[in-house]
Amino acid sequence: MSKSKWIWYPGSFELYHGMLLHNRRTSSRAYEDGSVKSLYYYPMWRVDGPRHNSILIKTAEISKREIIEFYANTELARITVDDTSYPVGAKITLEPGRHTVCVQGFKECGFPCYYIKGNVFASDRTYLVEERDEKAGRHAGESELYTELNDNPEVFKFAYTPIFPLVTERLEGGTLYDFGKESFGPVTVKIPKDGYVDIFLGESREEALDTKYSQIVLNANIEDGSYTSLPVAFRYIYIPNVFDATVTASLEYLPLESKGSFKCDNEEINKLWEVCAYTMLLNSREAFFDGIKRDRWVWGGDAYQSFFVNYYLANDKEIVKRTIRMLRGADPIFKHINTICDYTFLWLCGIWEYYLYTGDRSFLEDIYPEMLDMWNFISGRLDKDSLYERKPDDWVFIDWSTFDSNGPMCAEQMLLCRACQCISLCAKELGDVDTVSEFEKRHLYIKEQINQRYWSDSKGAFIDDYKSGKNNVTRHANIFALLFDYTTNERKEQIIKNVIYNKEITPITTPYFEFYELDAMCAIGDFEYVTNMLDSYFLGMLRLGATTIWEEFDPEKSGIEHYEMYGGKYEKSLCHAWGASPIYLLGKYALGVMPTGVGYKSYIVKPNLMSFNEIEGKVPTPNGEIYVKADKKQVLVLSPISGGTLIIDGKEYEIKKNELLTVEL
């Protein structure tokens, strides 16, 4: 591996690719004259671009002579060594001693990147942002993906695999191509006649054939008998009035290794795990997407759950870091992340959990000042009691459900409280004692306020809003209370009885919130609830032919009713990342692997068969995969790292590095 990496102004790489991806969404629109047009779809929040200027600097003492070579992706760049400047392409000898190397440049399109071959002065994160470029003392941006001189950080490194239709069906009005499963990538259509052709895509057969309401149309211009689209999502492709086309595609994806795995004696569950992994693969791109047909955007809440799935599937650090930076955007912070207050709180939580699962201290150091900036934004919008209350610009989301949500919502206080706890945990790691003390206090204070203001003795549950007088109970805040351990055991028992197992309380319909519900139920040890939900809810989709997990699922609906959402006939996404949570749940609670110290410095393995007879799988850590196999007679664990403890029925066994541990039951 090269010693050097391409470097840039911190955040520019992520903001550049974020800007491009957030502006690639289209939607189709049918007009009265019968035409159907593909229209650019504007993002719902401010999308920041990269810095077009940057200046990065490093001072160090070298004991050996060093030759450095300077490269940049722009001619408008220079390197300055001590007091002498040189153009791009310069090769400079540094004698032993103390030197300062500074690179600077401008690029109108894209963003300036620099590459310095050398030893101590090889380009990497140890270069700092120079003071005139705003905040001082920050590290240069870099990525593990761009370490070779001929890499281009402006081109995102995807992999491509050719794919073909499994079934080609000649219908009366045209030809339908079925690729067999949800796919994403550029589509190529060859027709022996030039001109404009409309190509309709569908995640479902019905959508592709419904030329008036299908979400994605390609207004293709066939030249020299061929047309290739930008990358799009599809399973079905329908071309009206054309019967002699050849349709192929490329699967475009980020080649993340699935280091995690899970098998059990229930084949449907094994298939579910694979479908979840494929759903994740499609949505794991420049950052974690929500869905690949719609929105193809990065939403903080969706991404937050993808982080957890990632820790049990690939444990790829780079995609989490990119997602965090993309969500953060540039200064000034003017609205909540994606305009949603809960997503801002989750963004803060996600950083602590990233550190817990990866132990990546460099990133924690880099992002920590941005966390504090985010807090400053939040704190300027708290109410007089230092609690969260909706402001006119805020989107209070929590979930697609009906809440009593005009006032200060209980679920938001729960997330605010957890965000404060996570800031305090991060501050502790970095030795920022004043911040630890402030946020530990805030966390305890908010927890107390939640229990005082929102608990209803008559309902035996947390209510949505203590001000409105409606005493409305939904599952969401109560689930957070279980998940974050924010109330007494006695109240938890009441919540389980009065909310979770109470069919009168509106059930969760999105896999998004199902994630939190199942996580909470596992956290309190109720695995039956989980396996029932895996069966009725997740396998429910698979039994209807889903090849990826949907945005929402209501077992009561039938036929194309399933595809309707937001008032659009096919607007529901049929490949939505937030449905991949079974990977996380099975890895964390069935295989039972979870870090207890940062970066798996210490960890536990607490396998649970749930409703299965045997389970087997791997969980990726920053330093290799932990293998776990369990049935009713024995438990096997093999781990490449030390610090582990196997727990069975409360009894603890030390897991020695690279030694197979077998416990007979």
Interface residue list for a second copy (CB under 8 A): 19-20, 23, 29, 37-47, 49, 51-53, 55, 75-78, 84-87, 104-106, 108-109, 131-135, 331-332, 334-335, 339, 393
Q: What is the DSSP string of 107-161?
A: -SSS---EEEESSTTSSSTTSEE-TTSSS-SPBPB--TT--STT--TTS---EEE
Nearer to a second copy, 45 or 156 (CB): 45
Three-state SS string over 472-521 comes to CCCHHHHHHHHHHCCCCHHHHHHHHHHHHCCCCCCCCCCHHHHHHHHHHH
Nearer to a second copy, 24 or 117 (CB): 24
Q: How far is the CB of 108 from a second copy (least distance, A)?
A: 6
Q: For residue 398, which of 25, 388, 557 has the smallest C-alpha distance?
A: 388
Nearer to a second copy, 392 or 431 (CB): 392
Nearer to a second copy, 133 or 366 (CB): 133
Q: How far is the CB of 49 from a second copy (least distance, A)?
A: 5
Q: How far is the CB of 36 from a second copy (least distance, A)?
A: 11
Q: For residue 608, which of 527, 538, 533 has the smallest C-alpha distance?
A: 527
Q: For residue 371, which of 427, 311, 323 has the smallest C-alpha distance?
A: 427
Q: How far is the CB of 42 from a second copy (least distance, A)?
A: 4
Q: Is 423 helix (H, G, I), strand (E, B) or coil?
A: helix
Nearer to a second copy, 137 or 332 (CB): 332
Q: Angle at CA 27, nearest 5°, toward 21 and 31?
A: 155
Please check whether residue 211 is in contact with residue 198, taking contact to mean a CB–CB distance below 8 angstroms. yes
CA distance 291 to 299: 10
Nearer to a second copy, 16 or 455 (CB): 16
Q: How far is the CB of 10 from a second copy (least distance, A)?
A: 14
Q: How far is the CB of 80 from a second copy (least distance, A)?
A: 9
Nearer to a second copy, 107 or 443 (CB): 107
Please check whether residue 661 is in contact with residue 636, taking contact to mean a CB–CB distance below 8 angstroms. yes
Q: How far is the CB of 140 from a second copy (least distance, A)?
A: 16
Residue 380 structure tokens: 């300027």
Q: For residue 644, which of 661, 664, 663, 665 has the smallest C-alpha distance?
A: 661
Nearer to a second copy, 38 or 283 (CB): 38
Q: For residue 29, which of 207, 230, 213, 157 has the smallest C-alpha distance?
A: 213
Residue at 150: amino acid letter? N
Nearer to a second copy, 40 or 196 (CB): 40
Q: How far is the CB of 17 from a second copy (least distance, A)?
A: 11
Spatial neighbors of 602 by CB under 8 A, at least 6 apart, are: 595, 596, 643, 644, 645
Q: How far is the CB of 376 from a second copy (least distance, A)?
A: 12
